[in-house]
Structure 1
Amino acid sequence: MTVMEPRLTLERRLLREHPIVIACDEVGRGALAGPVAVGAVVVDAPRARKRVPEGLRDSKLVPEPRRAAVAARAAAWVSHSAVGWASSVEIDEIGIMRALGLATIRALADLRAHGVVPEDAVVILDGNYDYITPAGARGLRVQPVIKADRDCASAAAASVIAKVARDALMTHLHDELPAYQWARNKGYASPEHREAIREHGTTSHHRLSWAIEGAQPLF
């Protein structure tokens, strides 16, 4: 099977009209446990003239042993990068779509703290729905792009950076609660994860509103 390589075609076109492009992508949206994370990267015209980092793909297409190295190359290529988070509690309280928007706003705030002005950018958002503006963002030009993490190098960079950060967090949580095997399943609904929930109940890291069948809160 041929794997499509992400390009900079869209970024270069947008950079004719805007000084910077910010690309955002989420990871952890469908997990039963752990936060959702949104990666955000900044690409300017000089970066867009450089070669796409070796091995850069949508994080789902990068083998796990290679992801950290690819993420490091991606972070070195973009001018700035950040990861924003929304916790399992916040997902329960406000729903996954608003939580995605909240995580994105936090990632953009991190970029702003490093001198980036998001209002100067056009924001490429992977997917077909702008969940940033309804979360309270003002003055942003958000352009949802279906399969941006596959086709746009900037969104692929955001994807792999966020994926490596979230996987590291779930591995750390595994050390505290090894019964759920989060080092392997990263909080997703693997058979071993569901069996652990049935046996041990849920934790404060689980998304209780996702109606985990037969589970009772552990703490």
Structure 2
Amino acid sequence: MTVADPTLRFERTLFREGAPLVIGCDEVGRGAIAGPVAVGLGVFLPDVRRMPEGLRDSKLLSEQRREALHPLVAAWAPHWAVGLADNVEVDRDGIVPSLGLAALRALETLVLAGVPVEAAVVVLDGSHDWLTPALAGWPEGSRPRVVTRVKADRDCATVAAASVLAKVHRDRLMVEADAVHPGYEWVGNKGYASAGHYAAIDRLGSSALHRWSWLKQPALF
């Protein structure tokens, strides 16, 4: 089955409807049993030009291709950010609130960079709007508008860009963490469940970066 490249059609519709900027949003690490969850944001203006060649949802790209695309995507987006919520926060608060926390941290980075996020439309992958509840603590007038779109990471170039930014950032963190907590095969599995990962936990015990409450549950991911 051939997968079509993402386009800017949906984003251009939002621009025609009056959005002064569009922020693509995607998360990675949701199903991992170790490490943080990461939310990537890519900011784009109405004059956005053609996307980098070969850009796709990060799940459809090899690690080598994601690494090659990362600097191109980072240069394509006028502003971008990746926010994290660590494994302790995931255990304490749950995965959905942690997604919101990571997104808020990324948005705050954009605000500090001078991006008027209150004027933005955030395109969120999927059908569940987990971001708007996280924004409830922000003053009215400072919150971006959120729209959900199923398969946005596949179909919308801005969201595909956010997925690459988040995935590469988180993968690099897990590779660095493997040197500190060796034996769990994080260079390969990046903290996701695998037979080798679970075997290492049985052999070594859990680490400071594992989502401890998740280890009591079946390997669903």
- The Cα offsets for residues 22-70 of structure 1, whole Å up to 9 and x where unpaired, read as 11100000000000000001010111xx111111000011111111111
Q: Residue 216 of structure 2: SS of its match in structure 1?
A: coil
Q: Which runs of 5+ in 1 are unaligned?
A: 215-219
Which residue matches 1:217? none
**For residue 32 of structure 1, what is the amino acid of its counterpart?**
I
Which residue matches 1:6? 6
**Partners in 2 of 1:105 and 1:167 — Cα distance?**
21
Q: Residue 41 of structure 2: SS of its match in structure 1?
A: strand
**Partners in 2 of 1:212 and 1:23 — Cα distance?**
34
Which residue matches 2:154? 150
Contact 1:55–1:62, Cα closer than 8 Å, also in 2: no
**Partners in 2 of 1:201 and 1:63 — Cα distance?**
30
2:192 paired with 1:188? yes
Note the C-alpha offset of 1:212: 3.3
**Partners in 1 of 2:208 and 2:178 — Cα distance?**
13
Aligned pairs for 1:132-211 (under 5 A) are: 132-137=131-136, 138=138, 139-211=143-215
**For residue 127 of structure 2, what is the amino acid of its counterpart?**
N
Q: Give me the CA root mean square deviation.
A: 1.3
Contact 1:167–1:186, Cα closer than 8 Å, also in 2: yes
Q: Which runs of 5+ in 2 are unaligned?
A: none
Note the C-alpha offset of 1:213: 5.9
**For residue 89 of structure 2, what is the amino acid of its counterpart?**
E
**Partners in 2 of 1:194 and 1:93 — Cα distance?**
22
Contact 2:33–2:215, Cα closer than 8 Å, also in 1: no
Identity across aligned pairs (percent)?
Answer: 54
**For residue 172 of structure 1, what is the amino acid of its counterpart?**
E
Note the C-alpha offset of 1:133: 1.7
**For residue 75 of structure 1, what is the amino acid of its counterpart?**
A
- The Cα offsets for residues 107-133 of structure 1, whole Å up to 9 and x where unpaired, read as 011111111111101110111111112
Note the C-alpha offset of 1:136: 3.4
Paired residue total: 212
Which residue matches 1:129? 128
Which residue matches 1:66? 65
Aligned pairs for 1:73-84 (under 5 A) are: 73-84=72-83
**Partners in 2 of 1:133 and 1:153 — Cα distance?**
22
Contact 2:181–2:207, Cα closer than 8 Å, also in 1: no
TM-score computed with the length of structure 1 as normaliser: 0.94
**Partners in 1 of 2:175 and 2:101 — Cα distance?**
23
**Partners in 1 of 2:56 and 2:213 — Cα distance?**
32
TM-score computed with the length of structure 2 as normaliser: 0.93
Q: Residue 203 of structure 1: SS of its match in structure 2?
A: coil
